[in-house]
């Protein structure tokens, strides 16, 4: 799915009206119907539920008025509260006129804030994508009143006060919604950790906006759902053999951190790799042979750290990093790898990234299309400067990837993949059960296997790997619960997750 800016969303609105020959109030009616249907289906409210609908002066408020009318028609008794304003959008005014007189409709003021009991459902239709500045005055007071009320808060399109695709000043008032019902496509703001407390559980409701416009519009950000990737992983041909899927080399592990090497190796083996060789320090030889018998092991001459790069000729792709440690001799191995990769895909994680950050001259040696998988702290080390907010970090990601012509996986909820040409792809799978040691090592193994598969482009390999890793987490958590989920559980579900993405 494409992620449009607020500006592009308005253009999409207009394109839809033109392409479909409908009036703007008809589109508003569709949007309102989608919300009302969701409300009744998902919340299954009793007819006695006190619905309070807070409407701003624009089309977001117009949506709220139409929802109020529809709830009334369905047998509910909504109350409407209007934010006073000097100008209103035409579709607000039309829906204000259409509001049946039986619906209580009150203009808000500092003295007329409604009491909201905990069983109330409050719809925030104050401001949507037309928000032009932070909220102050009465609007800010209403938001504060809603946030401290204890009622179930449901934001229409965007929580009021939240910009759809840029930061609001720290501390400016924003509705803290329990649910956000958005239209057609997700907003960038929903995917950033700094907004989790405002957006709550968000849902995108299809309202038939112009598919042709969406298809043609160039965007900076994408949201990767199952539909986007399904079928993109080619089936294994009947006469394929282990050479078809590539031979990968993994450099990982150090004394006390062999588990990271084991997890990455086992994940790679479960992700379709043809052959896997693992370079570990000598201390890891038995450990690897026993825990991953399908892998070949090339022990390093040194006991506790990797100090020598093997001959790269046999390998289709190389992964380096999990549990590696940051010895000077390991940094030298990384330098040699970067200099001698000769077009082989590289996947760099964990201490390989920390070594890049501390030996910054190595960054200049990064071969194009390298795939880096930092979590936010590792990414901060790579850029060398802290990010004051999530939007800033996103721009850093874009700049880093275009500067080094690399793919960079900024890990977390909605993992963001930066690409050499600029677009960022947000992943939709995964859950907080994956926030435990070893999950990232598993991702490295998955990505290594997919980068070794010559049938896949670098972009598809990265997108498929990130999605399947999160999906494996979701499948595993259904069995173990989130708290019980371990990195080893993830590995058991990578096969099924990849199978779901495999084309016919
Ligand atoms: N394409 C779609 O997906 C569809 C979209 N639809 C709906 O339309 C919504 C967008 O509607 P919209 O453009 O009328 O903007 P909206 O958010 O109602 O606010 C604008 C008004 O608020 C005012 N205002 C702004 N900031 C303010 C502030 N801080 N404090 C005070 N006032 C402020 C602003 O005034 P101004 O900035 O000009 O001073 C203007 O009067 C969208 O979110 C969705 O709900 C559906 O109906 C159909 C399909
Ligand atoms: N809340 C979350 N929701 C979805 N995925 C998550 C969440 N927390 C962590 N993950 C995923 O788990 C992995 C954790 O990686 P990382 O931090 O490198 O762990 P480790 O270094 O312990 O292996 C990443 O792929 C990340 O996207
Ligand atoms: K809103």
Instruction: Measure 148 CA to ligand 2 centroid, in angstroms.
Output: 32
Nearest to 105 by CA among 130, 156, 68: 68
pLDDT at 352: 98
In testing the pocket of ligand 1, which one of 54, 131, 159, 209 has its CB within 8 Å of the most ligand atoms? 131
Q: Per the domain annotation, does 250 fall within a domain?
A: no
Mean pLDDT value of segment 168-185: 96
Residue 452 to residue 248: CA distance in whole angstroms: 6
List, for residues 375-394, the tens digit of each pLDDT value.
999 999 999 999 999 999 99
Contact assessment for residue 137 and residue 75, using Cβ atoms and an 8 Å cutoff: no
Atom of ligand 1 nearest to the CA of 30: 48
- d(Cα 86, Cα 360) in Å, to the nearest integer? 57
Question: Is a pLDDT exceeding 90 seen at residue 8?
Answer: yes
What is the per-residue DSSP string for 121-170? EEEEES-STT--S---HHHHHHHHHHHTT-SEEEEESS-TT--SSSPPPT
The rounded Å distance from CA 41 to ligand 3 centre is: 20
Q: Is 364 among the domain residues?
A: yes
CA distance 341 to 245: 19
Q: Are 188 and 324 in a shared domain?
A: no
Q: List the residue whose alpha carbon is closest to atom 18 of ligand 2.
A: 440
Residue 441 marked as a ligand binder: yes
Is the Cβ atom of 202 under 6 angstroms away from ligand 1?
no
Statement to judge: residues 88 and 109 lie in one domain: yes
Please report whether residue 295 resides in a domain: no
Tally of domains within the chain = 2
Sheet with 317-320, edge to edge strand ranges: 2-3, 221-224, 424-427, 416-418, 407-410, 371-372, 346-348, 317-320, 247-251, 275-280, 296-299
The total of other beta-carbon atoms located within 10 Å of residue 220's CB is 15
Q: Residue 8 in 3-state DSSP?
A: helix
At residue 504 the predicted structure's pLDDT band, cuts being 50, 70 and 90, is low
The whole-angstrom separation of Cα 26 and Cα 16 is 11
Provide the percentage of residues in the chain whose pLDDT is more than 70.
100
Contact status, residue 188 vs residue 3, Cβ threshold 8 Å:
yes
Model confidence at 414: pLDDT above 70: yes
Q: Does the residue 209 lie in any domain?
A: yes
| Ligand having the closest approach to the CA of 35 | 1
Q: Is 200 annotated as a binding residue?
A: no
- 193 and 238 belong to one structural domain: no
What would the mean pLDDT of 96-115 be, rounded to a whole number?
94
Q: Which of 180, 201, 219 is the last residue of a domain?
A: 219
* CATH number of 39's domain: 3.40.50.10260
What's the domain range around 23?
Answer: 2-219
ipTM value: 0.94
Is residue 164 a part of any domain in this protein?
Answer: yes
The reply to whether 31 and 175 lie within a common domain is yes
Indicate if the alpha-carbon torsion angle 47, 48, 54, 55 is positive or negative: positive
* 130 and 166 co-located in one domain: yes
Structural domain includes residue 111? yes
CA 356/CA 372 separation, integer angstroms: 11
pLDDT classification of 164: cutoffs 50, 70, 90: very high
438 carries a ligand binding annotation: no
Co-location of 395 and 479 in the same domain: yes
Residue identifier of the C-alpha nearest atom 43 of ligand 1: 128
240 & 106 share domain:
no
Which atom of ligand 1 is the closest one to the Cα of 58?
18
Spatial neighbors of 239 by CB under 8 A, at least 6 apart, are none
- Mutate which of 11, 20, 58 for ligand 1? The one with the most ligand atoms within 8 Å of its CB, which is 58
Tell which atom from ligand 1 comes closest to the C-alpha of 16: 1
Does 496 lie in the same domain as 399? Answer: yes
Cβ-in-10-Å burial (0-12, 13-18, 19+) of 440 comes to buried
Query: Sorting pLDDT into bands at 50, 70 and 90, what band is 110?
Result: confident
Residue 215 makes CB contacts below 8 A (sequence gap 6+) with none
13 lines ligand 1 (CB under 6 A): yes
Same domain, 154 and 241: no
Residue 58 has pLDDT above 90, yes or no: yes
Query: Across all residues in the chain, what is the average pLDDT?
Result: 97
Are 476 and 492 contacting, i.e. CB atoms less than 8 angstroms apart? yes
- The string of pLDDT tens digits covering residues 324-383 is 999 999 999 999 999 999 999 999 999 999 999 999 999 999 999 999 999 999 999 999
Q: Is the pLDDT of residue 244 over 90?
A: no
- Looking up residue 475, the CATH number of its domain turns out to be 3.40.1190.20
Residues 63 and 177 reside in one and the same domain: yes
**Nearest protein Cα to ligand 1, atom 36:** 132
Q: Which two tokens stand for residue 383?
A: 């850029």
Q: Is 131 in the pocket of ligand 1 (CB under 6 A)?
A: yes
User: What are the pocket residues of ligand 2 if the criterion is a CB atom closer than 6 Å to any ligand atom?
Assistant: 375, 411-413, 415, 430-432, 434-435, 437-441, 443, 469-470
Q: Of 224, 230, 247, whose CA–CA distance to 454 is shortest?
A: 247
C-alpha angle 129/133/138, rounded to 5°? Answer: 100
Residue 288 in domain: no
Integer Cα distance of 87 and 362 in angstroms? 58
Q: How far is the CA of 53 from the centre of ligand 1 (A)?
A: 16
Alpha carbon distance 247, 449 (integer Å): 9
Task: Determine whether 74 is exposed, middle or buried from the number of CB atoms within 10 Å of its CB (0-12, 13-18, 19+).
Answer: middle
The CA distance from 64 to 81, in Å, is 10
Does residue 176 sit in the same domain as residue 240?
A: no
Candidate of 435, 465, 468 to mutate for ligand 2, largest count of ligand atoms within 8 Å of Cβ: 435
- Report the separation in Å between the CA atom of 313 and the middle of ligand 3, taken as the mean of its atom positions: 58
Atom 47 of ligand 1, residue of closest alpha carbon:
28
Contacts 24+ apart (CB under 8 A), 484-489: 484/433, 485/431, 485/433, 485/434, 485/436, 486/436, 486/438, 487/263, 487/436, 487/437, 487/438, 487/439, 487/441, 487/442, 488/263, 488/266, 488/438
331 plus 184 within the same structural domain: no
- pLDDT surpassing 80 at residue 454: yes
Determine which residue's CA is closest to atom 1 belonging to ligand 1.
13
Is the residue at 260 inside a domain?
A: no
> Nearest to residue 172, comparing CAs of 202, 133, 204, 138?
133
Ligand 3 (ion): which residues have CB within 5 A? Answer: 124, 128, 155-156, 160
- Which residues in 265-374 belong to E strands, given as ranges? 275-280, 296-299, 317-320, 346-348, 371-372
Ligand nearest to the CA of 435: 2
Could you tell me where the beta strands, DSSP code E, fall in 307-419? 317-320, 346-348, 371-372, 407-410, 416-418
């Amino acid at each position: 799915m494409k992620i449009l800016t607020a500006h592009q969303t308005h253009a999409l609105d207009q394109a839809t009206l033109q392409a479909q020959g409908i009036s703007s109030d008809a589109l508003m009616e569709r949007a309102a119907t989608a919300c009302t249907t969701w409300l009744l289906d998902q919340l299954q409210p009793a007819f006695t539920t006190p619905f309070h609908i807070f409407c701003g002066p624009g089309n977001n408020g117009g949506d709220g008025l139409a929802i109020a009318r529809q709830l009334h028609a369905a047998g509910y008794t909504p109350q409407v509260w209007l934010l006073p304003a000097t100008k209103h959008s035409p579709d607000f005014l039309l829906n204000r006129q259409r509001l049946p007189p039986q619906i209580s409709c009150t203009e808000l003021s500092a003295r007329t804030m409604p009491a909201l009991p905990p069983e109330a459902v409050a719809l925030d239709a104050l401001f949507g994508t037309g928000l032009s500045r932070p909220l102050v005055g009465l609007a800010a007071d209403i938001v504060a009143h809603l946030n401290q009320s204890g009622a179930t808060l449901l934001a229409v399109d965007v929580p009021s006060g939240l910009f759809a695709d840029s930061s609001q000043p720290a501390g400016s008032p924003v509705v803290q919604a329990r649910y956000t019902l958005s239209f057609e496509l997700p907003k960038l703001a929903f995917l950033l950790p700094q907004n989790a407390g405002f957006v709550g559980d968000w849902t995108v409701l299809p309202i038939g906006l112009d598919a042709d416009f969406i298809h043609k519009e160039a965007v900076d950000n994408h949201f990767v759902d199952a539909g986007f990737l399904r079928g993109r992983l080619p089936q294994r041909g009947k006469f394929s053999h282990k050479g078809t899927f590539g031979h990968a080399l993994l450099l990982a592990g150090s004394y006390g951190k062999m588990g990271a090497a084991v997890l990455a190796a086992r994940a790679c083996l479960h992700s379709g790799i043809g052959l896997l060789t693992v370079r570990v320090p000598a201390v890891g030889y038995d450990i690897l042979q026993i825990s991953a018998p399908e892998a070949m092991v090339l022990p390093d001459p040194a006991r506790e750290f990797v100090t020598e790069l093997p001959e790269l000729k046999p390998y289709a792709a190389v992964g380096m990093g999990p549990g590696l440690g940051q010895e000077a001799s390991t940094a030298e191995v990384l330098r040699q790898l970067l200099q001698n990769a000769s077009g082989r895909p590289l996947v760099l994680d964990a201490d390989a990234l920390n070594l890049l950050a501390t030996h910054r001259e190595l960054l200049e040696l990064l071969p194009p299309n390298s795939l880096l998988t930092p979590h936010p702290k590792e990414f901060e080390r790579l850029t060398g400067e802290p990010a004051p907010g999530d939007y800033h970090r996103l721009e850093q990601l874009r700049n880093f990837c275009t500067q080094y012509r690399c793919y960079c996986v900024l890990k977390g909820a909605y993992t963001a993949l930066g690409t050499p040409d600029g677009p960022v792809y947000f992943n939709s799978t995964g859950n907080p059960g994956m926030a435990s040691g070893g999950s990232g090592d598993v991702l490295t193994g998955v990505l290594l296997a997919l980068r070794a598969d010559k049938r896949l482009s670098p972009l598809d390999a990265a997108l498929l790997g990130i999605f399947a890793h999160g999906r494996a987490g979701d499948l595993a958590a259904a069995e173990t619960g989130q708290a019980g989920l371990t990195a080893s559980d993830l590995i058991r579900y990578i096969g099924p997750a990849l199978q779901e993405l495999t084309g016919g």
